[in-house]
């Protein structure tokens, strides 16, 4: 029957430690919209999304009321739009996606995407070149481009192009500190069932629709670790696992309820620790709780490796299907502890790159000087994609070259996207490296040292 301490513990996690379900994301396949005249594509896409997701937001809100757990975001991911784009206008398609998302009341829609890890079709390239205009003229559409995989290698032509696209996206939204770039992710080994933005899309291996749920709860993990100060890492890992289990069970429950009520198959629970810019919801503060004075100092990579692994181990048993990105996110602007560490200069781009070797994604929400050349951004993408390719993990770059700003300034996006100090990049050129183009071959899968 009633166990008062367990009930009060749950309430404490929700009220004081900001436990929440970060997102219910409905994946929707748009492939059925392709047959028919190109002119009607935009309406077919709009109708398909609105019909499928009509009840998503009210259902999410009712689940929130019944279980007493905040569900922060309700979102949609769709088939990578480049697959629909042959002969069509990508910008018009992006605007149709934007209208549909607003009609059903979700706060982001992901999938203005292209998968070009080996080569680009004409439609892929047209969509990629349309990303800056689309992101600058829509509000809730998010875009992602996969430029490399472990099996295919890295498409360096696409990497070069993405450097230019990011610069143009920033320039088109210069009055908002390059905000369009916050809605654009460049991936290696992108996953098909990620519920988190800006990188969510509904992969071609998915069904007509799916419910994917992303849990969160850095504050809960931090609070649990406060109880074991000075204990060895064995205790730290066990504590994180136990906490991650509880967090994930909430996600599983919400996912099953949403799936049942909406009549849409349950896809996965994504076990990621996703921070927000509010106090008490920081991944960096978990690392500091482990004994680091400031995130970014020596020991940070080891601390993050332990955290990332323990979160997965604890969460895997709590859910019937785990997927997405699953791990710890380190978005600089969205994490109050990361912002503080970057402001102190302890958290540098090079350290962040090292951290991406052991965390769930990559260089995320990092503001860099506005005059950073496109080829330097491409080179940053290439480095990150190489880490993903060799280590068989997802990596990503979501970087904002803030127009007119330089080191010492900061950018402010507000809300969940937060604010970030401009972090310096190396000034030495990578131009000739990026100018080569072509492909970096897929790596060998034995002799792994």
Partner 1 sequence: MKAVITVLGKDRTGIIASVSNLLYQHGVNILDITQTILSDMFTMIMLVEIGQDSEYNVVRDALLTLAGEMNLEIRVQRSDIFDAMHRI
Q: Which residues bind partner 1 (CB under 8 A)?
A: 1-4, 6-11, 62, 65-69, 246, 249-250, 252-253
Name the residue nearer to partner 1 (CB basis): 90 or 218. 218
Name the residue nearer to partner 1 (CB basis): 253 or 416. 253
Nearest approach, Cβ of residue 325 and partner 1 (Å): 22
> Can you read off the two tokens belonging to residue 109?
């829609």
> Can you read off the two tokens belonging to residue 360?
């769930």
Name the residue nearer to partner 1 (CB basis): 7 or 204. 7
Name the residue nearer to partner 1 (CB basis): 7 or 435. 7
Q: How far is CA 391 from CA 178, 305, 329, in A?
A: 31, 14, 17
Nearest approach, Cβ of residue 3 and partner 1 (Å): 7
Nearest approach, Cβ of residue 256 and partner 1 (Å): 9
Name the residue nearer to partner 1 (CB basis): 8 or 38. 8
Nearest approach, Cβ of residue 247 and partner 1 (Å): 8
Rounded Cα gap, residues 174 and 251, in angstroms: 38
Q: Could you tell me if 220 and 243 are in contact, meaning their C-beta atoms sit under 8 angstroms apart?
A: yes
Q: Is 279 left (phi over 0), alpha (psi -120 to 50) or beta?
A: beta
Nearest approach, Cβ of residue 13 and partner 1 (Å): 8
Name the residue nearer to partner 1 (CB basis): 99 or 261. 261
Nearest approach, Cβ of residue 10 and partner 1 (Å): 6
Rounded Cα gap, residues 401 and 422, in angstroms: 9
Name the residue nearer to partner 1 (CB basis): 65 or 321. 65
Nearest approach, Cβ of residue 188 and partner 1 (Å): 35
């Amino acid at each position: 029957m009633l166990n008062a301490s367990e009930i009060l513990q749950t309430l404490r996690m929700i009220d004081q430690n900001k436990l929440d379900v970060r997102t219910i994301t409905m994946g929707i396949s748009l492939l059925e919209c392709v047959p028919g005249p190109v002119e009607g594509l935009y309406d077919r896409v709009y109708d398909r999304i609105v019909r499928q997701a009509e009840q998503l937001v009210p259902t999410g809100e009712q689940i929130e009321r019944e279980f007493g757990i905040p569900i922060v975001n309700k979102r949609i991911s769709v088939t990578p739009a480049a697959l629909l784009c042959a002969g069509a206008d990508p910008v018009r398609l992006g605007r149709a996606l934007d209208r549909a998302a607003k009609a059903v009341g979700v706060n982001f829609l992901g999938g203005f995407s292209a998968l070009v890890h080996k080569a680009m079709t004409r439609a892929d390239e047209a969509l990629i070149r349309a990303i800056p205009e689309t992101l600058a003229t829509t509000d809730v559409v998010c875009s992602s481009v996969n430029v490399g995989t472990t099996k295919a290698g890295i498409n360096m032509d696409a990497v070069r192009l993405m450097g230019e696209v990011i610069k143009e996206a920033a320039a088109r939204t210069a009055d908002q500190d390059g905000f369009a770039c916050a809605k654009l992710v460049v991936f290696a080994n992108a996953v098909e069932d990620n519920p988190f933005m800006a990188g969510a899309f509904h992969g071609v291996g998915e069904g007509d629709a799916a419910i994917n749920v992303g849990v969160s709860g850095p504050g809960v993990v931090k609070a649990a670790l406060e109880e074991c100060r000075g204990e060895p890492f064995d205790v730290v890992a066990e504590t994180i696992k136990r906490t991650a289990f509880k967090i994930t069970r909430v996600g599983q429950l919400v996912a099953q309820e949403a799936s049942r009520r909406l009549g849409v198959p349950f896809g996965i629970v994504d076990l990621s620790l996703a921070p927000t810019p509010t106090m008490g919801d920081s991944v960096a503060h978990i690392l500091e709780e482990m004994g680091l004075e400031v995130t970014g100092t020596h020991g940070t990579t080891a601390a993050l490796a332990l955290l990332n692994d323990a979160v997965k181990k604890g969460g895997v048993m709590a859910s019937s299907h785990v997927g997405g990105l699953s791990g710890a996110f380190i978005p600089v602007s969205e994490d109050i502890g990361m912002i503080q560490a970057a402001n102190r200069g302890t958290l540098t781009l090079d350290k962040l790159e090292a951290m991406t070797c052991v965390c769930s994604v990559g260089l995320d929400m990092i503001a860099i000087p506005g005059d950073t050349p496109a080829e330097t951004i491409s080179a940053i993408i290439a480095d990150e994609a190489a880490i993903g390719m060799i280590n068989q993990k997802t990596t990503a770059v979501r970087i904002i070259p803030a127009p007119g700003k330089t080191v010492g300034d900061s950018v402010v996006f507000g809300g969940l996207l937060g604010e970030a100090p401009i972090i310096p990049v190396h000034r030495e050129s990578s131009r000739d490296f990026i100018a080569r183009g072509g492909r970096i071959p897929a790596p060998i899968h034995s002799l792994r040292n």
